[in-house]
Structure 1
């Protein structure tokens, strides 16, 4: 015979499994993210991965040949930054639905997110579990 206590535990385990599956799916989406930027006059095209690492560097035209080394270096740095921003936007789109209201990926990366937004002092849980935590195992509930 299933007790309200047993059903509450089963509901919590089901919730945990769903959250775990969602986390795995989010990680998969993040791993697939790439960001791309192309410099003016198509002098350079940069592709980066989700963590901002450069994965491809292309020179679609010969425009780079007419540039001074400093000018080309500056263009590379700014184009890489644009590609990273593009990747961050895409990661944010993948992760944001799972974040608490008001918490952004950028805020997390800059250390601006409040950890209490993720871990409230009084987490949501079924009444039976709350009662168990407050008062101990209900009489007649099976030992696990």
Structure 2
């Protein structure tokens, strides 16, 4: 096996390792939830990191004293608080594995500026560029 083949194998092994790590993080993130309780224990809500409402509880009868609009407002605010808590957990798990300054919660909320992370023209890594240049020259000379 040539040196380039070994480098390609090493790069593929690194890729597989990172892919497995990403899958592990995805599973952990998908299992996260956040829970919030409204003032006066009107409602308690549990939300997934993806923003799905998992559970709504009415721990007391306090909700009965609210108008439908007031109850709706309390529900929306409590759901937002629970989602924010779930996203805080996502940030804690994934923050160290993302490009500097990118918070997963910002990406999920649509407030992240991803254009600053992705250049207009990507630069290939030096090893890949070297392999591409040598591979093209060697292929043109009939060498392998």
Query: Which TM-score bucket, shorter chain as reference?
Result: 0.7 to 0.9
Distance 1:116 1:19, change over 3 A: farther
Aligned residue number for residue 52 of structure 1 = 51
Alignment size in residue pairs: 139
Distance 1:52 1:67, change over 3 A: same
More helix by share: 2
Give the TM-score of the pair, scaled to structure 1: 0.82
Q: Is the 8 A contact 1:132 1:138 kept in 2?
A: no
Distance 1:102 1:85, change over 3 A: same
Aligned residue number for residue 83 of structure 1 = 82
Give the TM-score of the pair, scaled to structure 2: 0.82
Aligned pairs (5 A) from 1:86-125: 86-109=85-108, 110=110, 112-115=112-115, 117=117, 121-125=122-126
Q: Gaps (5+ residues) in structure 1?
A: none
Q: Gaps (5+ residues) in structure 2?
A: none
CA RMSD after TM alignment:
2.4
Cα drift, residue 70 of structure 1:
2.1
Higher relative contact order, chain-length normalized (CA < 8 Å, sep 6+): 1
Aligned residue number for residue 15 of structure 1 = 14
